């Protein structure tokens, strides 16, 4: 039986073993998947032991996604662009491939939800690692414009400049946003702590779609803001979590699992409303 794992610190909260066990059962794949806690000062050692013990692939989660860049022998273009790796795959030639499936997972979930991106004006809140992984996949969908907004404008400017060659990208501070957007995506973790972002009603029109990459048992502050504005189309990031896992599973096993029943099972397990 092929062995896979997710490595991080902390790791006990990870839903990846449940998700991949569902994928494996659905597609009759002979594999196991476990959580591995890596000490903050010995991630490389833990990864090396996993490889030596016959691991075929693994997911990497916080805070080690950037540490893997120097350990993977080959990187995909999307991992290089994101500046982070969340998936490692043992290739037939014995080399370890580093990939980043987060952005692909976001796009898969947006499409599952029927959120149109082509020709639309998009707003991406935040300029951290999650935003960086989303930039190229979002721009590949040919939006009319993608604006990055961050509390610290210099970080938004840097991110916009990094991806300017892929499409029309703008940047600004949160308090300088202007005009209405068709889709607003929150990549910050602030809303999980109940921190409201400095957003105004003028950023939305009645059909604006809002998506929070975060999810929780309680409604995030960002989604609460959207609900209080009367916006009908509000979505959390649980589907992104399952979709990025499906992309990793496809890389490892060559099989595309059905995300919808697994997402429903996970939502029920966590007792989250859709």
Annotated binding site for shikimate: 14-16, 61, 86, 102, 215, 244
- 65 labelled catalytic: yes
Strand partners of residue 3: 32, 55
Strands 87-90 and 55-60, how do they pair?
antiparallel
Q: Binding site: which residues?
A: 14-16, 61, 77, 86, 102, 126-130, 150-155, 213, 215, 237, 244
Helices (H), the chain: 16-27, 43-52, 77-82, 102-112, 129-139, 153-163, 221-228, 238-253, 259-270
Q: How far apart are the first and last CA of the chain?
A: 35
- For 46-63, letters b (16+ CB in 10 Å) and e give bbeebeeeebbbbbbbee
In the annotated binding site for NADP(+), the residues are 77, 126-130, 150-155, 213, 237
Distance CA 205, CA 104 (A): 27
Q: Which phi and psi (to 5°) does residue 217 adopt?
A: -60, -35
* Residue in 106, 118, 108 with CA at minimum distance from that of residue 187: 106
Given 65, 111, 168, 269, the catalytic residue: 65
Q: 103 near 138, Cβ under 8 Å?
A: yes
Distance CA 201, CA 222 (A): 13
Active site residues: 65
């Amino acid at each position: 039986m092929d062995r896979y794992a997710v490595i991080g610190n902390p790791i006990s909260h990870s839903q990846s073993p449940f998700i991949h066990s569902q994928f494996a059962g659905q597609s009759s794949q002979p594999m196991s998947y476990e959580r591995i806690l890596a000490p903050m000062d010995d991630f490389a050692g833990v990864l090396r032991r996993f490889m030596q013990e016959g691991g075929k692939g693994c997911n990497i989660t916080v805070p080690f996604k950037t540490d893997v860049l120097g350990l993977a022998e080959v990187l995909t273009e999307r991992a290089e662009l994101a500046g982070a790796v969340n998936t490692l795959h043992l290739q037939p030639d014995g080399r370890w491939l580093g990939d980043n499936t987060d952005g692909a997972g976001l796009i898969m979930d947006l499409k599952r939800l029927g959120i149109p991106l082509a020709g639309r004006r998009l707003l991406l809140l935040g300029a951290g690692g999650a935003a960086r992984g989303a930039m190229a996949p979002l721009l590949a969908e040919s939006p009319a414009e993608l604006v990055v907004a961050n509390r610290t404008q210099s970080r938004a400017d840097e991110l916009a400049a990094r991806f300017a060659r892929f499409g029309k990208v703008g940047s600004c501070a949160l308090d300088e946003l202007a005009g209405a957007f068709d889709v607003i995506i929150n990549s910050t973790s602030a809303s999980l702590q109940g921190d409201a972002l400095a957003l105004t009603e003028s950023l939305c029109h009645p059909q604006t779609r809002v998506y929070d990459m975060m999810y929780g048992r309680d409604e995030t502050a960002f989604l609460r803001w959207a609900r209080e504005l009367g916006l009908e189309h509000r979505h959390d990031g649980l589907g992104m979590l399952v979709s990025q896992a499906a992309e990793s599973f496809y890389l490892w096993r060559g099989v595309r699992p059905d995300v919808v029943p697994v997402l429903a099972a996970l939502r029920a397990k966590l007792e989250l409303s859709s």
